[in-house]
Homo-oligomer: A and B are copies of this chain.
Amino acid sequence: LISSFLVRISFPFSIGHRHQQTTAKRVEEVEFDGPCMKTEVPGPRSKILAQQLESIQSVVQVNFFCDYEESKGNYLVDVDGNRMLDVYTQIASIPIGYNHPALTKVMTDPKNMGTFVNRPALGMMPPEQFSEKLVNGLMAVAPKGFSRVQTMACGSCSNENAYKAIFIWYRVRAGVLSFFFQVPGCPDLTLLSFMGGFHGRTLGCLATTHTKAIQKLDVPSFDWPIAPFPQLRYPLDQFERENAREEARCLEEAEDLIVKWNQKGRHVAGVVIEPIQAEGGDNHASFDFYRKLRGITKKHGCAFLVDEVQTGGGSTGKFWAHAHWGLDDPADIVSFSKKMLTGGYYQKDSFQPDKPFRIFNTWLGDHTKNLLLTEVIKVIKTENLLDQAKRSGKVMLEGLYDLQDKYPHLLSKARGIGTFCAIDVKDEDTRNLLLLKARNKGVVLGGCGTQSIRFRPALVFKEHHAHLFLDIFNDAIAELK
């Protein structure tokens, strides 16, 4: 990584920068040249704002307040003027960095004004450009095998409605007559999900979410089958046989559950799974595991729903993480949100209810997000950001391997695809301390699972950002003794 044009980055505090930038930046790429920390985070202004907000809302989850006008590219600026390299991106939901000029252009185009100030009921009275924006947006990046998409407002609504589409499909397929005016039959169908999976927090989604106890506590739920998710041992190449055995055990148990629940009349209409269990701790399984799971769903007539809410949008180096699996037969439904800006799901034709108002709500998403997404997709293609994610991810993962070699008592299980990386810290308290230390040195990170750190940079995160991140992260770790 030899630079042809060196740029020295200066920090007011002790933030190291030992890696060199790889290329001179083009003018339009100029963002900030590094973090710049003026206070601890949260700083005094953030604290005052939190006090004000506290009289209206809970602030127990608030990290700090941001200046979104001043933020740019990979850098998030807070209200105390601290400028941080953002490797968390609003819980993995900012696709191409802050204030990307392509998005600003969408907002200032007078042609789009009518869309932004008049929110249509998209299912009843869509705007003239609706199809066109879907074709150039969501459908332009549809996973292999999908020609239909339904937009929704957020990730939870996407999964809730995808679940409904599965139940309706299952009953139609089973030949159950669905007459319009009969007393509603709410059958005792089930969905199979996995321990450690996260699919949202509304009541239907929550029945399939199994990450932290606090998320489900005190809330009534559906009694649905839950299969174990493989607990792989790292480094993967040293535990090939053990891991294969673990995956086989989980698949066997999943299939057993389907058979047993079908036998007791509580049929498993579908299986829902993430390509990487993100909130649950960045738990990976092999591509082979997923291919075999797909086979099991086919064998037992269950729908196969891949939840790409966090993994979708390109950070794994492919637009959809499940595209890495090489499925012979595509999934049945793929749900998304976050970096896609709009929620929704792709579905096979047979999952489209034939009767109106079975899948419906007032807004069915927000067309303003389709306009923005169309531009995001253009930028991803024009700037080859999927390849960028592969390259930056390689730097990150190799750097994480180096760090865990350097600090084996603190770090383990460096893992990832593209920039969708994670590492484990020895325990939860140390993990949380490390997150704070890194933030005060100018890097925003997020935790997941009990003791993992997840790395979720935007797609405009380049190799030099990865080096910068690794330097600062190294400094933060070094301070843990």
Name A's B-contacting residues (CB within 8 A): 49, 52-53, 55-58, 60-71, 76, 79, 90-91, 93-94, 98-100, 103-104, 106-108, 111, 113-121, 123-128, 130-131, 134-135, 139, 147-150, 153-157, 160-161, 163-164, 167-168, 170-172, 176, 178, 180-190, 200-204, 207, 212-222, 337-338, 341, 352-363, 366, 368, 372
Subset of 10 A-B contacts with CB under 8 Å: A49-B126, A49-B131, A69-B114, A93-B121, A154-B362, A156-B361, A167-B220, A171-B218, A189-B218, A202-B202
- Chain B residue at minimum C-beta to C-beta distance from A363: B154
For A130, what are the chain B residues with a Cβ–Cβ distance below 8 Å? 49, 53, 65
Residues of B within 8 A of A49 (CB): 126, 128, 130-131
Residue pair B362, A218 in contact (C-beta under 8 Å):
no
**Shortest Cβ gap from A412 to chain B (Å):** 22
Pairwise interchain contact B201-A202, C-beta atoms closer than 8 A: no
Partner of A61, one of B65, B157, B222, B357: B357
**A156: min CB distance to chain B, Å:** 6
A357 to B150, CA, bound (A): 28
Q: Which of B57, B67, B163, B358 contacts A214 (CB 8 A)?
A: B358
**A358 touching B204, Cβ below 8 Å:** no
Is the CB–CB distance between B131 and A61 below 8 Å?
Answer: no
Give chain B residues whose Cβ lies under 8 Å from the Cβ of A214: 180, 184, 355, 357-358
Chain B residue contacts of A113, Cβ below 8 A: 69, 99, 104, 107-108
Answer whether A203 and B203 are a contact pair too, CB < 8 Å, given A147-B55, A219-B164, A220-B190. yes
Residues of chain B within 8 A (CB-CB) of A203 are 160, 163-164, 202-204, 207, 222
Given A125-B90, A358-B215, residue A366 in contact with residue B366 (CB < 8 A):
yes
Partner of A183, one of B106, B170, B213: B213
Closest B residue by C-beta to A217: B184
Asked if B117 contacts A100 (CB within 8 A), the reply is yes
Q: Is the CB of A56 within 8 A of B154?
A: no
Residues of chain B lying within 8 A (CB to CB) of residue A176: 218
Assembled-state Cα–Cα distance A71/B187 (Å)? 44
Q: Which residues of B contact A217 (CB under 8 A)?
A: 168, 178, 182, 184-186, 358
Closest to A149 in B: B56
Cβ-defined partner of A154 (8 Å) among B127, B157, B183 = B157
Contacts A56-B148, A128-B79, A186-B221 given; indicate if A361 touches B120 (C-beta within 8 A): no
Given the known interface contacts A65-B128, A203-B204, A219-B167, the answer about A182 and B213 at a Cβ–Cβ threshold of 8 Å is yes
A134 to B220, CA, bound (A): 31
A85 to chain B, nearest CB (A): 14
Report chain B residues within 8 Å CB of A341.
Answer: 119
Cα distance A128–B66 in the bound complex, in angstroms: 6
CA distance A401 to B333 in the complex (A): 50
Complex Cα gap A207–B204 (Å): 10
Tell me if B356 and A202 are in contact (CB < 8 A): no
- How far does the Cβ of A218 sit from chain B's closest Cβ, in whole Å? 4
Closest residue on chain B to residue A367 by CB atoms: B68
- Contacts of A368 on B, CB cut-off 8 Å? 368
Q: What is the CA–CA distance of A70 and B185 in the complex, to the nearest angstrom?
A: 44
Q: Which listed residue (B127, B148, B168, B338) contacts A68, Cβ 8 A?
A: B127
Question: Bound state CA distance, A63 and B167, in angstroms?
Answer: 27
B115 touches A68 (CB 8 A): yes
The answer to whether A135 and B93 touch across the interface, beta carbons within 8 angstroms, is no
Q: Whole-angstrom distance from the CB of A229 to the nearest CB of chain B?
A: 17
Min Cβ gap A465→B in Å is: 18
